[in-house]
Amino acid sequence: MINKFLGFEPDKDKLPSLTAKIGDDIDLSSHKYQKIWLGPNHPGVTGNMAVELWVQGNTVVKAKTHVGYLHRGFEKLIERRLFVQGFPTSIRMCVAEPDTNEYLIATCTEQLSGYDKAVPEMAKWLRMLSLEMARLQGLLRGVPGQGGTFALGLGVQWGVYLRDLILDRFEELTGARVYHMYIIPGGVRGLLPDGFKERMEDNLRDIDDFIIRIRKLMFHNSVFKKRAKGLARITPDMVDKYGIVGTNARGCGVKRDVRKDHPYLHYDQLDFDPPTDTDGDIYARTWVRWQELIQTVDLIRQIMAKMPEKGDIKAEMPNVLHWKIPKGETYVRLESGRGEYGMYYVTDGSAKPRRVNLRGPSYTHAIALLEDMLVGADVADVHAIMVSLQTCPPEIER
Amino acid sequence: MSLKDILTPFTAWSKVVKEPVTIKDPLNREAAPRYRGFHDNDIDTCIGCGTCEAICENEAIDLVPVDGIETKDGDSGLRPKIDYGRCCWCALCVDICTTNSLRLTNAYKWVDTDPDNFRFVPGVDEKDWYKREEGWRKPEPNYEFYGLKRVEMGELHPEEREDSFVEMIKGYSKEQAEAEADRCVECGICTATCPAHMGIPEYIKAIRNDDLEEGLRILYDTNPLPEICGRICTHKCETVCTIGHKGDPLSIRWLKRYIADQNPSEKYKKILETDILKKNGKKVAIIGSGPAGLSAAHYLVLLGYEVEIFEKLEKAGGMMRYGIPEYRLPYDQIDKDVNYILSLGVKIHYNVTVGKDITLKKLGEDFDAVFAGTGLHLGRSTRIEGTDHENVYQSIELLRKITQGEEIYVPEKIVVIGGGNVAMDITRSLARLQNQKYGKVQVIATSLETEEKMPADREEVIEAREEKAIVNPGWSPQRIEIVDGKIKGLHVVQCLSLFDETGNFNPQCNMENKNFFEADMIVESIGQGMDVSYISEDIKEHLELGPRGRFRVNDYFQTSLPWLFMGGDTIQGPDVIHGIANGHKAALGIDKFLIGE
Amino acid sequence: MTIYAKLGYTLLGLLIVLNWGFLMGATFRKIGARVAGRYGIPFYQPWLNLLKNISTRTTITHGVMYYIGPVFRLTGGIGLFLFMPMVFTGTVDGPWTNFSFEGDLILILYFQVFGMLGMALGAGQGGHPYSAMGIARGLAQHAAVELPLTLAFISIAIQFDTFSVYKIVAAQQGGIENWVLFTNPFAAATIILAMLGAMGHSPFNLVKAPNEILIGPATEFEGTYLGFMQSAGSILHVMEAVLFMNLVFGGASNWIELIVKTFLIYFWSVFVGMVFPRFKIEQSVTWFFKVPLLLGFLAIIIYSF
Amino acid sequence: MKDLIEKLTEDFKISDVVYQRPDLAFVTVPKGVAISLVTELRDFEGFSHFVMMSCVDWIEEGKFQLLYLLHNPKTKTDVGVKTFIDRENAEMASAHHLWKQVWTYQRELKEAFGIDFPGSPRVDENFVVEGWTEMPHMRRDFNTKEYSQNTYFPRPGRETNDPAEYMRKKLYPNEPITAKKQDNDK
Amino acid sequence: MSEKDMNDKVNEMLQRSEANVKKAEKSFIHPEDEEREVVAPDGSIIKVNPIYDYFSGEKPKEEKPCSGIIEKFLNWARAESIWVLGFGTGCGSIEIPPLVTPRFDMFRFGVQMRPTPRQSNAFIISGYLSVKTLKRVIRTYEQMPSPKYILALGSCTINGGMYYDSYSTINRLDKYIPVDVYIAGCMPRPEALLAGFTKLKELIKEGKGEKANEYARNFDEYKANQKKIIKDWNMPDYNW
């Protein structure tokens, strides 16, 4: 009320429309607009990308996403590599949740070569464990990270610490901190080390405590609410129009979760229900992610309880040096922390794939959706909106 | 905005009294036991096979020679050098390492100002992390990048084969051969060990690609007797096969046989493109149609020479035909290889004994060069008491007689002295004959060497036992007991060692531990000698002698008489593949001698 | 007291303030680090930073105003110090009272804005769009903070019938009950709330908002100028705290008391800032125009009658 | 799924149906009807979620294979609509009007394969590479390793030995050997 | 100037700018960076070349260190106060958050993050650099005040790493900018990074952190290498 009175919330009906269409030229020489760049060297940009903003005062009137700063040509490189050599390369396609890439490339090759039935039971459970741990570490960064976009750095500090603990568990299990290179075509690369479950349980208890703390810090925070509520709203009708997936879709009530829709591994044996919210704004998305944090902790506990004690970790497969896969194509998807994450894989009967194409959720979220969503937003909110859409540039440009 | 929303965030301050969770000394923190840190290599176990280089997707690994490591059979003398400007620590190199020598320690700190320093040979260049035990090793269990188990070769059941000379090894089917070929890691270590230096990885690859014609071409590059070699080669290559360090070595011999078997002999000429051969007008005589002679003939005829072979016996093949029983090497397979060589235009004179029917000197005059691949056809005797008895036989004689279809004396109890492959051959042949005759077997094979050191192939011993022959090694024969002119048996004592410290043959026996093998017939099979009676004295005096009573030849098997080349068993000991290699090389030598560079 | 002695005391005081500012800054970063669960920077880090910044070898220039910006800011800080009585010694002519005089409260109000205006000049000439945005935010927020603050100052001035900070301090002596905190709670409340904005911590740290506008006005500054700005920032932080201490919390009768009180005053803004995110600029301005402004008016209304 | 494809086969000249999984099928249609099939699937068959668009370079046949992968959130099935276009002067009708994100894919394909989509917004803008002067980088005939080694100076001093070759040199330099055959595996 | 004249002038300029856009597509220069004419408020026409007008194109000069004990003292201060630019150029930047958070807490070693190149003196090249990023890195590096230091993480900066055969990423960082410290790993752990900082501190204290001068000394060589691979060079030679 007072805002309106003081003129801080302009009556938008009285102003000319700000929603510039993509491709419309904004005449910078009119001195009405200014162009600023958010990134690539900017602390407020996710990863190494850039958003070119045309602003009128504090309001964005047009935005363009620029990617390619992290472009390495993965899809080209994997075309040059044997099937087994693909997975160390593929894992680097997305730093935030690397295991998903490994799983996709392994499953694609298994499916096309007919070895998907041969993957041992133990390996399947371990795959699930590593995928859920990856989701957990992603959320531990992501949930407080949303607070961090509004300069609530405390949650980030706690969250990244706990993420480090999960990375320690990853290190024990897989032999590496970030790029685990654990899921290999045919199976996984190691059993649980001794005492892993106990140490994991310790960490999960810490995370339980953190979940409560972060709720008090962020979701019962008047300033956070003031900034996050009503900001960057996604409506259900936008979901199909823009190809929105994952928590971004669930935040506005569209329940899409690959783990439920197309159960892979043993997700059908786990008891969970993907959380949803109805508002579709940043607060709702963060809230959904927070609930997912609880759920992921629970899923890890379920997996550790249900997983067999011992077993084979890799199927018997042909010699990796000259493993050939007959001609075929497939699309495999999974639910990453950011939503549906898929891979289109084509083989031509040789020892190397013909084409690998990754479908990252950020591809649509960070370009088509973000550019449209930023129009009319405040410059101060740009970073928050990017993070709330879980923009991850490496999976866009690959 | 409720008051709760203003006050609850302050609960975060309760953390201020807690001790920080920071790692106090992060610079000396140990990584997890399984952490993939920097490389270490056990250079004594490593054989430099280069599989790590092959799997490395970043081309981070080079194979470089290392001081103090010799190149020898089964060890290339190279060691992996890793470029940390390329490595991504995926540890695929560790997982695939054929000897399990490569590993990653859990060290992870390497800071340097010079980017050129980040290359090192693990295990050789001094690094402080080698003493760490923790680190990444190949995961267990059942985590392999290639099959460790050999594809089982189908063979006749002992009951089926024990009384017949039908070939006992069935050969691989297409699926089996491809599965077996799939295990190869293409390191090529075996090529050096193979006396003929066959392109083993290449023809195995041809099997994988299902391009058997290409496979045959590769075989004939270095070996004109693939059917024969595919059955009876001593497969030294398999002893150094890198896969053998962790699992069963590849069945290289059976794969070779598979290629040869699958190509029909009618197509050979077309596949090998030998329909029309150029002639250069020069003539070469070859004495003996054994592996060395046939191999020399083959390559000489390809080089354009007119080749004539003089064979003492009535059929070609030499020791391959007359020394090896039919169940191991069926005669039609010998004919397949021999006929192909003959079809190239090689003339062969059967039943011509050089030295008797025609002199060597005459050959030297009639032909531009002579190659003698005469082989070892004289049996050696133990010279113990009683060996002059008429029922003490030489194995080589008996085998020839069996081949020629002559009736031989087969009593109920037989003892074979000798632990080599020939001994096993005669043992098993006699066992079959006994079976045919009496329906039961009582052959005892004994040798000086103990079970572990027996020179015979392991599977030969096992198969002999399957056929109910008794193999009882580790005994030194003392004397043959003869009562009333009839052999009663063989007295033996336990043999402790064969060689003294200097490596000379000097058996030591434990005279206390005695044994007696009953026998009606004794077969000696302790080695063969060469028959050089075909060389007349005037020629012989021009020939220099080398060690162990053999003639001295140069690298191209040329004797001191320039037109006379010698090769095969007489020069390099009893072995088909050596004979083939000798023949091939002598052919090149003859070519060099006659045509020049 | 001779003018030379006065000058000597003033320079010494400035040195103490500068160093206390550095130490206080480091201490609060350490406290913040504790809440996060870590150790944080060493206590001596700000001095090292200053040294390092001064020892930078290359500099850039965007013109004269670019240089003047940090100088203005430092001048603002020093000016604030020069006319601020630091320690109450019983006589205005005594040591540590600097050049306090009748009506210095008005001058102090001016000096508070002075640094910000200087920065506006420097940042403007720096030419970085984020500098401009930062300084625009800074000025807007400063205006919003200044308004309730001035109302509270006027209320206190009315209460004690003087514009001299020294006299206001003097009037509060003789026990905690004489503090403005208790004698003029509305003005005190206004100041305590507006103080959050003046100190520049969350939720009002809009000027330096790294993930929105890099580091705001200072984006283009480097080396010695950055050192100037850091020193000025430290002095300003202490002086703001001293100002509020003098006006609301009864001043200080010795340096120890000053240090304790400024620490606690500063702690208040850290206490709030640690657990709240940042406002947007219009939210921030609106916030100051709501509660603090209202309280300020109340404080004046009450003491006007 | 089978019913659906059979129903559409006639109208859209569908050929070459592959049921990769029970919930995933690939169909091939002529270039001209691909967009209309995609539109039909979106508007009438409930395939409202556009998963991805991709391209495969079948250089041997001189064709690009374009793929439109659609997802039906109700039946939880996917259909991949494939169409082949010529590699020379590759051009395809734009589908940017159907979903908001399609123009991004088309922009990428223009850059990576050189397929033109007339009318697609910003299709000519750079996507991931900047200042690219070579042929489109995802085409099969673009040799990335060669390009990289010619352009980016790999650090010198690397040399390696093939074990077999090295052993030959060391142990039997003069013996006859098998001529190395063409390496068609790698 | 009449209104009509003004309109004509503007139309003419618009046409010219359209031509410029077309030209720019060929020459890689962004239309906004093309040389153009602008009408000043007083109606006069000014030529503007954004690339060169906004920056100085002067070459960098070598900056001599102070002498003796003073330099040692300053080096000590520099070593103990390392301000790192918060520019995550590659995947190694995922290990930066652990460093600034409780687990590893690099603040206690005097290492802090700064958001702008003007205020940083250390630059972490966190792994692979695509050519597109390299352009920004060069620009950023040149904007940093001297003395400045570069830490290069991982294999990618040494010899291309996993992306040695990629058309998009460079192989050797030292060809384009001088590097002080290399840290092996893919990616290096935070502990290794801290070890890298320790090493950097040692170097600075020994007076060996003079790579910025090396850059100035071999400026032409570095620039030639940079220009060889950055094909759309649309910035001044040296970005002050």
Over residues B536-550, the pLDDT tens digits come to 777 777 777 777 677
pLDDT at A23: 44
Query: How many other CB atoms sit within 10 Å of the CB of residue B596?
Result: 6
Contacts of A70 in chain E (CB under 8 A): 90-91, 130, 133
* Cα separation of the two ends of chain D: 39
Q: What phi and psi values does residue E182 have, to the nearest 5 degrees?
A: -105, 140
Model confidence over E120-135: pLDDT tens digits?
889 988 888 888 888 8
CATH of D2-155, one of 2.40.170.20, 3.40.50.300, 2.20.25.190, 3.30.460.80: 3.30.460.80
Residue whose entry in the numeric block shows the structure tokens 């006069």: E44
Given a cut of 70, is residue D115 above it in pLDDT?
Answer: yes
**CB of A49 within 8 A of CB of E130?**
no
DSSP C63-79: -HHHHHHHHHHHHHHHH
pLDDT at A20: 45
Please work out, in degrees rounded to the nearest 5, the angle formed at the alpha carbon of residue C241 by the alpha carbons of C238 and C245. 135
Query: A121 lies in a domain?
Result: yes
| Mean per-residue pLDDT over chain A, rounded | 84
Please work out, in degrees rounded to the nearest 5, the angle formed at the alpha carbon of residue A37 by the alpha carbons of A33 and A38. 125
Domain housing A162: 74-323
The verdict on whether omega for the bond into residue E147 sits within 30 degrees of 0, i.e. cis, is yes
Q: How many CA atoms lie within 13 A of C190 on its CB side?
A: 29
Question: Considering only CB atoms, which residues of chain C are within 8 Å of chain A?
Answer: 35-38, 129-130, 133, 202-203, 205-206, 209-214, 274-283, 285-286, 289-290
Given a cut of 70, is residue E51 above it in pLDDT?
Answer: no
Model confidence over C12-25: pLDDT tens digits?
888 988 899 999 98
List, in sequence order, every residue forming a beta bridge with B393; answer none if it has no partner.
B523
Given a cut of 70, is residue E14 above it in pLDDT?
Answer: no
Compute the average pLDDT of residues A85-96.
83
Domain CATH code at residue A253: 1.10.645.10
Q: What phi and psi values does residue C27 have, to the nearest 5 degrees?
A: -60, -45
Nearest CA in chain A to C133: A58
Token pair, residue D77, equals 């099935």
* 8-state DSSP, B575: -
Tell which C residues from 31 to 90 touch B, by Cβ distance under 8 Å.
Answer: 31, 33-39
Higher pLDDT, A34 or A287: A287
Model confidence over A188-229: pLDDT tens digits?
888 888 888 899 999 999 899 889 888 888 888 888 888 888
Q: How many domains would you assign to chain A?
A: 1
Nearest CA in chain D to B242: D163
Residue of B333, B342, B165 whose CA lies nearest to B256: B333
pLDDT at D180: 55
Give the distance from residue B107's alpha carbon to the nearest chain E alpha carbon, in angstroms. Answer: 10
Model confidence over B235-277: pLDDT tens digits?
888 888 888 888 888 888 888 888 888 888 788 778 877 777 7
DSSP A360-379: -HHHIIIIIIHHHHHTT-BG
Model confidence over C145-169: pLDDT tens digits?
888 888 888 888 888 888 888 888 8
pLDDT at A239: 87
Distance of CA C82 to the CA centre of its chain: 14
Compute the average pLDDT of residues C236-258.
86
Judged by CB atoms closer than 8 Å, whether chains meet at E146 and C36 is answered as: no
| B558 — pLDDT class (breaks 50, 70, 90) | confident
Compute the average pLDDT of residues D104-119.
87
Query: A146 lies in a domain?
Result: yes
Question: Which among E105, E199, E208 has CB closest to B22?
Answer: E105
| Mean per-residue pLDDT over chain B, rounded | 82
pLDDT at A98: 85
Given a cut of 50, is residue D182 above it in pLDDT?
Answer: no
Give the distance from residue E65's alpha carbon to the nearest chain A alpha carbon, in angstroms. Answer: 29
* Least confident span in A190-194, A384-388, E56-60: E56-60
Query: How many other CB atoms sit within 10 Å of the CB of residue C293?
Result: 19
Question: Which among A42, A147, A161 has CB closest to C277?
Answer: A147
**CB of E188 within 8 A of CB of B121?**
no
Compute the average pLDDT of residues D75-102.
87
Model confidence over B211-240: pLDDT tens digits?
888 888 888 888 888 888 888 887 888 888
Model confidence over B309-341: pLDDT tens digits?
888 888 888 788 887 888 878 888 888 888 888
pLDDT at A13: 60
| Mean per-residue pLDDT over chain D, rounded | 83
Task: Extract the runs of DSSP E, i.e. beta strands, from E15-143.
Answer: 36-39, 45-48, 82-85, 111-114, 122-125
pLDDT at E29: 62
Contacts of A151 in chain C (CB under 8 A): 202-203, 205, 209, 211, 277-278
Query: What is the C-alpha separation between D129 and D126, in angstroms, rounded?
Result: 6
A to B contact (≥3 Cβ pairs closer than 8 Å):
yes
pLDDT at D185: 41
Given a cut of 60, is residue E107 above it in pLDDT?
Answer: yes
Domain housing C180: 3-304
What is the dihedral angle through the alpha carbons of C157, C159, C162, C167, rounded to the nearest 10 degrees?
A: -110
Contacts of E101 in chain C (CB under 8 A): 36, 38
Q: How many domains would you assign to chain C?
A: 1
Nearest CA in chain D to B119: D158
Tell whether A26 lies on the interface with B, counting CB pairs under 8 A.
no
**CB of E108 within 8 A of CB of C209?**
no
Compute the average pLDDT of residues A306-322.
85
- The subunits that touch chain C, with at least 3 C-beta pairs less than 8 Å apart, are A, B, E
Query: What is the C-alpha separation between D74 and C278, in angstroms, rounded?
Result: 42
| Mean per-residue pLDDT over chain C, rounded | 85
| D184 — pLDDT class (breaks 50, 70, 90) | very low
Token pair, residue A327, equals 């001609």
Q: In what order do the strands lie in the sheet with E149-153?
A: B111-112, E181-183, E149-153, E122-125, E82-85, E111-114
Query: What is the C-alpha separation between D155 and E158, in angstroms, rounded?
Result: 8
pLDDT at A255: 86
Residue whose entry in the numeric block shows the structure tokens 């927020």: C141
Compute the average pLDDT of residues B436-450.
81
Higher pLDDT, A6 or A313: A313
pLDDT at B77: 83
Model confidence over B469-517: pLDDT tens digits?
888 888 888 888 888 878 888 888 888 777 777 777 777 787 888 888 8
| A22 — pLDDT class (breaks 50, 70, 90) | very low
Residues whose CB falls within 8 Å of the CB of residue A49, separated by 6 or more in sequence, listed in order: A39, A40, A65, A66, A67, A69, A70, A366, A391, A393, A396
Judged by CB atoms closer than 8 Å, whether chains meet at E115 and C52 is answered as: no
Token pair, residue A86, equals 């693909």
Q: What phi and psi values does residue E29 have, to the nearest 5 degrees?
A: -80, 130
Q: Which of C41, C59, C225, C228 to mutate to test the interface with E (most CBs of E within 10 A)?
A: C41
Which 3 state secondary structure label does DSSP give B528?
Answer: strand
| C78 — pLDDT class (breaks 50, 70, 90) | confident
pLDDT at C133: 84
List, in sequence order, every residue forming a beta bridge with B385; answer none if it has no partner.
B479
**Domains along chain B with CATH numbers:** 30-145 (3.30.70.3270), 165-271 (1.10.1060.10), 277-377+530-595 (3.50.50.60), 380-499+507-527 (3.50.50.60)
pLDDT at E24: 47
Compute the average pLDDT of residues C254-283.
87
Tell whether A121 lies on the interface with C, counting CB pairs under 8 A.
no
